[in-house]
Amino acid sequence: MSTSSKLSRRRWLKTVAAVASGVAVLPFLKRTAQAAPIKVTKAIAHYQDQPSGGKMCGTCVHFIPAGGKAGHGMMGGAMGPGMMRPGLCQVVQGRVSPRGYCLLYQPS
């Protein structure tokens, strides 16, 4: 692991710790989540199994539908067979519902 990636990981961990303590760093987390070397817990991301308004995992750029990324999006993923089964998230640990939502949501 290079020095820069160690620093990046350290910075990410500090950010996650700040989120856990309630500090408003959500914009930073959203900017860096895709390059994150680790995933955050559902609790830190404030994950819920229900959508928030029209926002849901099935329409989030971080969602990996059951069966993989192929077909991702409303037509291939959210409205296709992958919509019904829990998938994975690139930035949040564990299985997530296509109808779930968290604070790291980013529209696809």
Angle at 92 (CA atoms; ends 101, 97), nearest 5 degrees: 40
The residue from 17, 85, 91, 93 that contacts ligand SF4 (CB under 6 A) is: 91
H-type alpha helices, the chain: 3-20, 26-32, 42-45
User: Contact letters (x/-) for ligand SF4, 43-72, by CB under 6 A?
Assistant: --x-x---------x--x-xx---------
Position 13: which residue type? L
Number of chain residues interacting with ligand SF4 (CB under 6 A)? 15
29 contacts ligand SF4 (rule: CB under 6 A): no
Three-class SS state of 44: helix
Neighbours of 99 (CB within 10 A): 16
Does residue 105 belong to the site contacting ligand SF4 (CB under 6 A)?
A: yes
**Interface residues toward ligand SF4, by CB under 6 A:** 45, 47, 57, 60, 62-63, 89, 91-92, 96, 100-102, 104-105
